[in-house]
Structure 1
Amino acid sequence: MKHTVVIGMLGTTLDKRGKRENRWTKWRPTVGLCQQQGLVVDRIELLHQPKDKGMALQVVEDIAKVSPATQVVLHEIELRDPWDFEVVYNALLDFTSRYPFDTEHEEYLVHITTGTHVAQICWFLLTEAHYLPARLLQTAPGEKKDRPSPQGIYSIIDLDLSRYATLTSRFLRDRQHSVSFLKAGIETRNKTFNALIDRIERVALRSDAPILLTGPTGAGKSFLARRIYELRESKHLINGRFVSVNCATLRGDNAMSTLFGHVKGAFTGALRPRAGLLREADGGVLFLDEIAELGLDEQAMLLKAIEEKKFFPFGSDKEIGSDFQLIAGTHRDMQQWIAEGRFREDLYARINMWTFRLPGLAERREDIEPNIDYELQRFARNKKTQVRFDKEARTLYTTFASSTQAAWRGNFRELSASIARMATLAEQGRISTILVEEEIEQLKSNWQHQQPIASFSAVPENIDLFEKRQLETVIEVCRNAVSLSQAGRQLFAVSRMQKKKPNDADRLRKYLARFGLSWEELKDQQ
């Protein structure tokens, strides 16, 4: 069972009952907390002003007598004016921000009976905003015949605090910090993108429904998904892991096993049971990148898991549960995918509640310059070395990168690689105009030779859509591989494990021959 931790302030009036024996006949809220029959308090985090330390020590001593198992931790906080809203709010927020909450092992209650009315309102606001992963605890003297009971009574309450509309400027600054966090601190200038991130921040803190991130490859979907998780975790909205997988890498039995787990002997090679990613994401976030690439069987099981929080591991007749938030990513046109029968319409309806399209780099050219700075800083952190542009070199690169000459088909991933190349080759930490000119020529050459797969004359037109899509994938892998054998190993990564002597190159050569194609022909068409 979790330990119960109470956070509250010393009551300078209600907790002040002197040192005489008759104090035990009077109701003292903080001491009375530890005398409740139905409430076991393992620890009290007691806040007090420096001038009240003597009273605080007396309370600690009395709690030790009525509840020896209760630990009391004293915290001094300086309040210049305990009736000033800004002073109290900032002090309690500072305490909350520093406090090491452990929601996995502890349950937290905020005692709102003691302290000024201003302090009580601040506790309300901080709890509602999830700075405190806690419920509210209220105590009262209660009645015992004609006199108050020294133990008093208590109640744990959840209130709708929406009527409290007055928030401090610090609260607003913290929300702005959340938006900046999602952007990794990059001072983006694109109005559309900034409005998008602002909306994502509000959704991330208010909803645990599935989120769908769309947009071109390299637009930052994976990066944003992790930042959403980290933001929710910082507000104690989740306590599980961030689990991520690219669905384009999952095929056949491997897809089922990776996502839903399997029992021993479920298929050839299943020598031991596997939990699966859905189970690993219990209490946290599951990010399914390129979700459109999932097979229809996996889609059906995923829909059940989202709606019912239960699913069957591969090869098992026993359901297991997992409560996770789903974030999905895709670069596909989902409506077209549904029309072609490649994605379930009911699953799309379930994950389409919050859909955000991330624009590509070419649509946010005004954000290229701050992202260049970010990539340089990231390179410096990773390599432990500072790299800077010469003044003329920076102007040259920024002008080109922000112009229509720069296609940026790989989006932010391509920009990151470009900066990393120059930073790696920089002499004495300086990126020169010569390096920039070489990089610009390399980028231009890359974009000149890149062609959409669908434009390849190698793909026959008189074949079924199913085989056409499959062949396009094979051609793409072949184009990016350095040899026929490497392409075969990648394409047959799962099935080759079941063969004693896999001949991937021969198998791939025979597949291409069915369509009148050859490895040499595909490489010549690059």
Structure 2
Amino acid sequence: MKIKRKVVIGFVGSQLDGARRSDRWEKWRPSLSLMQHEDLLVDRFELLYNAKFQDLAHHVARDMRTISPETTVVTHDIPMRDAWDFEDVYGALFDFSKRYRFDTEHEDYWIHITTGTHVVQICLFLLTEARYLPGRLLQTSPPRRSGVGDPGSYQLIDLDLSRYDQIAQRFSSEQAEGVAFLKSGIPTRNASFNSMIEEIEKVAVKSRAPMLLMGPTGAGKSFLARRVFELKRNRHQLDGKFVELNCATVQGDGAASTLFGHIKGAFTGAASNRPGLLRSAHKGLLFLDEIGELGLNEQAMLLKALEEKRFLPVGSDEEVASDFQLIAGTNRDLGAEVLAGRFREDLYARVNLWTYSLPRLSERPEDIEPNVDFQLALSAMESGEKVSFNKEARTRYMRFAMSGDAAWSGNFRDLAASVTRLATLSDAGRITDVQVDDEIARLKRLWRHDAQPAVMEGLDLFDSMQLEAVIAVCRQSKSLSDAGRKLFAVSRDAKAKPNDADRLKKYLAKFDLQWDAL
């Protein structure tokens, strides 16, 4: 096991650490006492101070180096007007945490809260609990009996402090920033989507449990998983990489090798060792999209890796370790897959703690406009040219995009592709109504092609026209039940217990069609 360097972060004690007294070597001084323990080697001490105690901090730093030459002492001027003002102190220490380059893979951080004003100590505690300072709290105590050279004691502790309004407001602001980060700054207007993102932000910061993102292709599962990773990395909660795999692209032995790696000679073509994606995601985040496509054997291996953080590469008799966080994505109903015997119940229970269903674009029509603006901004960043609609063009495009005529079968991927085409074909950075009309016609052709499954080729004209009309209603509806109510509005009144969703599901099944695919 690799031993990490110990790094202490703490404020100089203006009274207890006093370095100018003639008897300073006979007194207990909290910061220096950490250098005097025979069983503790501090590799580096980050000594914080504000400007009026600069000389004192430098004297203390020199004394530290005298006691422990092997300890590197680094001083930091933390600008604050009043060390007893919560907002001032918290802001200054928060800025320090953002500037400081933490290396949690190679260093352990101890946050010393014995010195400094009580406000400084409280703010250090809050920043540590929020993981802006990714370390453990450290308390030092004087010896019970005075004695020259007695360093006293030290301990790693947990505290529970009262909440303060100003600090709570600062945390609320940071949480709001986290929510905005997950949405890439897009001012979404859908209340249920915003509520879901707010919960995901809380879970992402506080939990390492697996997360399950459900939704159709193009709904943004991969994008959201990457933003969760970046949010956690910014909070110093992940040191590794973001690793992504669409499980539908690998099958059989190839799936096991891709995920868990293999050793040389494990099978024909295994010319060298392969680490696998789980090991590549060590201390990072692994996003497995379409997890329902994994075979039962790979599901069992994944469950073991999640629970024990160890697994066997293909062909190996020796286990390897990997500690990663998992986000899974699916467009299937995994509960139904469990009942059908295609997905392991124990794995489903493991990944189903935090489950979120990402809505289709057609279920969030109010969010189309801000996403169009977001895509135009991305286009401007990539091309270096600002592109915008003229007034008539924007009105015409938004009217169509938010209407029932817009299927958006590919969800946000369709929208992004549409805006990209408009930006590329714009004249001098202006999208005109002529270009919008051409794009609307193009989208209708694309969706009309999508709406004609191959099964229609073998149908009578009567049946194919009926099926086409049913598909159109499905694509304009928010759910299977909503589509069923529209399609069976008259006949349902004659039934004592109408089940429109089941009736529609059975109709689609006759043509080997599923609601999610539409």
> Into which bin does the TM-score normalised by the smaller protein fall?
0.7 to 0.9
Q: Which residue of 1 aligns with 2:285?
A: 285
Provide the C-alpha distance between the structure 2 equivalents of 1:266 and 1:222, rounded to a whole number of angstroms.
32
Q: Which residue of 1 aligns with 2:68?
A: 67
Q: CA deviation at 1:165?
A: 6.4
Q: Which residue of 2 aligns with 1:18?
A: 20
Q: Deviations over 1:64-99 (max 9, x none)?
A: 211112222111123222112111111111111211
Is contact 1:213-1:327 (8 Å) kept? yes
Listed as ranges, the matches of 1:91-106 within 5 Å are: 91-106=92-107
Provide the C-alpha distance between the structure 2 equivalents of 1:99 and 1:431, rounded to a whole number of angstroms.
45
Provide the C-alpha distance between the structure 2 equivalents of 1:427 and 1:154, rounded to a whole number of angstroms.
73
User: Does 1:444 find its partner at 2:406?
Assistant: no
Task: Give % identity.
Answer: 55
Provide the C-alpha distance between the structure 2 equivalents of 1:324 and 1:153, rounded to a whole number of angstroms.
39
Q: Which residue of 1 aligns with 2:411?
A: 411
Q: Which residue of 2 aligns with 1:477?
A: none
Q: Which residue of 1 aligns with 2:275?
A: 275
Q: Give the direction of change, closer, same or farther, for the CA distance of 1:394–1:72 in structure 2 (3 Å limit).
A: same
Unmatched runs of 5 consecutive residues or more in structure 1: 460-526
Is contact 2:138-2:157 (8 Å) kept? no
Which one is further off, 67-76 or 4-13?
A: 67-76
Q: Which residue of 2 aligns with 1:155?
A: 154
Q: CA deviation at 1:148?
A: 4.6
Q: Which residue of 2 aligns with 1:248?
A: 248
Q: Give the direction of change, closer, same or farther, for the CA distance of 1:8–1:452 in structure 2 (3 Å limit).
A: farther
Could you tell me which amino acid in structure 1 is paired with residue 156 of structure 2?
Answer: I
Q: Which residue of 1 aligns with 2:336?
A: 336
Q: Give the direction of change, closer, same or farther, for the CA distance of 1:457–1:304 in structure 2 (3 Å limit).
A: farther
What is the TM-score normalised by the length of structure 1? 0.83
Listed as ranges, the matches of 1:123-272 within 5 Å are: 123-144=124-145, 147-161=146-160, 164=163, 167-272=167-272
Could you tell me which amino acid in structure 2 is paired with residue 288 of structure 1?
Answer: L
Q: CA deviation at 1:157?
A: 1.8
Q: Deviations over 1:384-405 (max 9, x none)?
A: 3221222221121122111221
Is contact 1:141-1:149 (8 Å) kept? no
Q: CA deviation at 1:306?
A: 1.5
Could you tell me which amino acid in structure 2 is paired with residue 107 of structure 1?
Answer: D
Q: Give the direction of change, closer, same or farther, for the CA distance of 1:112–1:452 in structure 2 (3 Å limit).
A: farther
Is contact 2:19-2:56 (8 Å) kept? no
- Counterpart of 1:181 in 2: which secondary structure? helix
Provide the C-alpha distance between the structure 2 equivalents of 1:360 and 1:7, rounded to a whole number of angstroms.
47
Is contact 1:137-1:154 (8 Å) kept? no
Q: Which residue of 1 aligns with 2:84?
A: 83
Could you tell me which amino acid in structure 1 is paired with residue 14 of structure 2?
Answer: T
Provide the C-alpha distance between the structure 2 equivalents of 1:160 and 1:141, rounded to a whole number of angstroms.
19
Provide the C-alpha distance between the structure 1 equivalents of 2:19 and 2:324, rounded to a whole number of angstroms.
49
Q: Give the direction of change, closer, same or farther, for the CA distance of 1:202–1:77 in structure 2 (3 Å limit).
A: same
Q: Which residue of 2 aligns with 1:517?
A: none
Provide the C-alpha distance between the structure 1 equivalents of 2:148 and 2:289, rounded to a whole number of angstroms.
60
Is contact 2:122-2:161 (8 Å) kept? no
Could you tell me which amino acid in structure 1 is paired with residue 5 of structure 2?
Answer: H
Q: Give the direction of change, closer, same or farther, for the CA distance of 1:69–1:389 in structure 2 (3 Å limit).
A: same
Provide the C-alpha distance between the structure 2 equivalents of 1:307 and 1:54, rounded to a whole number of angstroms.
53
- Counterpart of 2:35 in 1: which secondary structure? helix
Q: CA deviation at 1:163?
A: 5.3
- Counterpart of 2:380 in 1: which secondary structure? helix
Q: Give the direction of change, closer, same or farther, for the CA distance of 1:231–1:13 in structure 2 (3 Å limit).
A: same
Provide the C-alpha distance between the structure 2 equivalents of 1:455 and 1:352, rounded to a whole number of angstroms.
35
Q: Deviations over 1:357-383 (max 9, x none)?
A: 000100000000100111111112223
Q: Deviations over 1:3-35 (max 9, x none)?
A: 211111111111114252x21111111222222
Provide the C-alpha distance between the structure 2 equivalents of 1:163 and 1:80, rounded to a whole number of angstroms.
24
Provide the C-alpha distance between the structure 1 equivalents of 2:26 and 2:240, rounded to a whole number of angstroms.
46
Q: CA deviation at 1:453?
A: 5.0
Listed as ranges, the matches of 1:380-419 within 5 Å are: 380-419=380-419
Could you tell me which amino acid in structure 1 is paired with residue 168 of structure 2?
Answer: T
Could you tell me which amino acid in structure 2 is paired with residue 3 of structure 1?
Answer: R
Provide the C-alpha distance between the structure 2 equivalents of 1:148 and 1:90, rounded to a whole number of angstroms.
39
Could you tell me which amino acid in structure 2 is paired with residue 24 of structure 1?
Answer: W
Q: Which residue of 2 aligns with 1:121?
A: 122
Provide the C-alpha distance between the structure 2 equivalents of 1:300 and 1:325, rounded to a whole number of angstroms.
17
Is contact 1:124-1:161 (8 Å) kept? no
Could you tell me which amino acid in structure 1 is paired with residue 69 of structure 2?
Answer: P
Unmatched runs of 5 consecutive residues or more in structure 2: 460-518
Q: CA deviation at 1:451?
A: 2.9
Could you tell me which amino acid in structure 1 is paired with residue 151 of structure 2?
Answer: G
Is contact 1:89-1:122 (8 Å) kept? yes
Is contact 1:139-1:152 (8 Å) kept? no
Is contact 2:257-2:313 (8 Å) kept? yes
Q: Give the direction of change, closer, same or farther, for the CA distance of 1:268–1:224 in structure 2 (3 Å limit).
A: same
Could you tell me which amino acid in structure 1 is paired with residue 307 of structure 2?
Answer: E
Provide the C-alpha distance between the structure 2 equivalents of 1:304 and 1:233, rounded to a whole number of angstroms.
25
Provide the C-alpha distance between the structure 1 equivalents of 2:262 and 2:379, rounded to a whole number of angstroms.
40
User: Does 1:58 find its partner at 2:59?
Assistant: yes
- Counterpart of 2:25 in 1: which secondary structure? helix
- Counterpart of 1:213 in 2: which secondary structure? strand
Aligned pair partner of 2:7 in 5, 8, 17: 5
Q: Give the direction of change, closer, same or farther, for the CA distance of 1:345–1:390 in structure 2 (3 Å limit).
A: same
- Counterpart of 1:35 in 2: which secondary structure? coil
- Counterpart of 1:82 in 2: which secondary structure? coil
Q: CA deviation at 1:215?
A: 0.7
Provide the C-alpha distance between the structure 2 equivalents of 1:400 and 1:264, rounded to a whole number of angstroms.
56
- Counterpart of 1:272 in 2: which secondary structure? coil
Is contact 1:244-1:287 (8 Å) kept? yes
Provide the C-alpha distance between the structure 2 equivalents of 1:306 and 1:77, rounded to a whole number of angstroms.
42
Provide the C-alpha distance between the structure 1 equivalents of 2:366 and 2:151, rounded to a whole number of angstroms.
63
- Counterpart of 2:34 in 1: which secondary structure? helix
- Counterpart of 1:81 in 2: which secondary structure? coil
Q: Deviations over 1:159-191 (max 9, x none)?
A: 153754653322210010001111111100000
Aligned alpha-carbon RMSD (Å): 1.8
Is contact 1:143-1:149 (8 Å) kept? no
